[in-house]
Amino acid sequence: MSVIALPHQDQKMAEIIEKVRNGVRLSLEDGVYLYESDDLLTIGQLANEANLKKNGKKVYFIENMSLYFTNVCESYCAFCNFRKDEGEEGAYTLSGPEMIDYVEQHIHPGVREFHIVGGHNNHVPFQYYVDSLKALNERFPEVTLKAYTAAEIEFFSRLSGLSIKEVLQKLQQAGLKSLTGGGAEILSDQYRQKMKVDKANVDQYLEVHRTAHKLGMKTHTTMLYGSIESHEDRIRHMIQIRELQDETGGFMVFIPLSMQPKNKNASIMRRNSAYEDLKTIAISRLMLDNIDHIKAYFINIGTQLTQMALTFGASDVHGTILKERISHAAGAVTPEGLTRKELIWLIKGAGRIPVERDTFYNEIQVFE
């Protein structure tokens, strides 16, 4: 094992290193300390060691497509530039057959997953969302449906009058296999009030995933960072996810999402720094000791920083995606997707071993 060069007088950092190497869980105080430290290389190397213990040099990706049935939304979250009002220019709501036509025009052999999210459109009934999945599942039964955020599930519950469990069961019957991680933002009700997160609250977000896990689903989870939240808010967010994982074991991956400005031409000062992005990925790896994977999401942090993140604790680079819209509507300047060859090159370029996976991290092909 490589040796970390410690700052001579930094006793707290030495204690944290000792904890991580001995499998002792980090506390809220430890996490905040790491965020406030300027010793990025020590934090990154420690996260790298933690990741290598879990995953070796393997880095995972999937061939997937991002699909958006509707951008009409009842919510007015302060950070969102994807949503539209019904009848507004650019608003759309696709039927199942219309989405199938879109997929048939863009899909290629090898796609294993549809990543489906969208607006909270209350101008259509809950059955619309059920039928949307059913149509895809019937036409593309070989492709896994990873669909809807916890916030969308809570919205469906209000829209239909059904319980969270009943909503999930109906969607499972239509072909749903996993939930996306979105809608978490920062798990703080104070933050959600200030940022006008006009959708599921903290308890509801966690309860949706808890219920999904009890129904046998493995899911994803996220954290949208880089606005008004404090370092302590971020660590508390991670701890709440960690506690639910202790309870259910249902999360496969944690995805730190770097906040995007609404204007693509926004100055560098309106974006998270590379320093902050790498530190957040590394701290996520160190805090979330019970989740196998931390994802470096190239859509938000770019391809070159994604490569760097693979030595800062990340073990997943997401997938081919094909036409990502939500982050790009908010101002992302990265590619809307990557090819299989590009993902393999990106991972190998970081000295890692690319592994094509399915939605559930079953290995399809290892590229030694």
The model's pLDDT over 162-195, given as tens digits with 9 standing for 90+, comes to 999 999 999 999 999 999 999 999 999 999 999 8
Report d(CA 322, CA 362) in Å as an integer.
22
The residues with which 254 forms a beta bridge, in sequence order, are: 221, 294
Q: Would you list the domain boundaries of the chain?
A: 29-62+150-317+328-366
Calpha distance 328→46 (Å, rounded): 32
- Rounded to whole angstroms, how far apart are CA atoms 221 and 76? 22
Q: Reduce the DSSP state of residue 169 to 3 states and report it.
A: helix
Q: Which two tokens stand for residue 116?
A: 């489906």
The string of pLDDT tens digits covering residues 319-337 is 886 654 444 444 444 455 6
Instruction: Specify the pLDDT at position 333.
Output: 45
CA distances from 69 to 119, 131, 222 (A): 8, 11, 21
Q: What is the DSSP string of 287-333?
A: H-TT-SEEB--HHHH-HHHHHHHTTTT--EEEE--SS--HHHHTT--
The DSSP annotation for 115-158 comes to: EE-----TTS-HHHHHHHHHHHHHH-TTSEEEE--HHHHHHHHH
What pLDDT does 50 receive? Answer: 98
For the chain, which ranges sit under pLDDT 70?
1-9, 261-270, 321-337
The CATH architecture of the domain made up of 29-62+150-317+328-366 is Alpha-Beta Barrel (3.20)
93 phi, psi to nearest 5 deg: -145, 110
Q: How many CB atoms lie within 10 A of CB 243?
A: 12
Query: How far is it, in rounded angstroms, from Cα 183 to Cα 217?
Result: 18
In this structure, which amino acid lies at residue 352?
R
Of 129, 236, 262, 149, the closest CA to residue 199 belongs to 149
At 147, phi and psi to the nearest 5?
-135, 145
The Cα 256–Cα 229 span in angstroms is 14
Sign of the dihedral defined by the CA atoms of residues 261, 288, 149, 147, in that order: positive
Tokens of 35: 């965020």
Q: Which helix (H) or strand (E) holds 17?
A: helix 11-21
The answer to whether 295 and 255 are in contact (CB under 8 A) is: yes
pLDDT at site 327: 45
Q: What pLDDT does 35 receive?
A: 98
Tell me the chain's radius of gyration from C-alpha atoms: 20
pTM value is: 0.91
Q: Which residues fall within 8 angstroms of residue 23, CB to CB, at 6 or more apart? A: 289
pLDDT at 325: 43
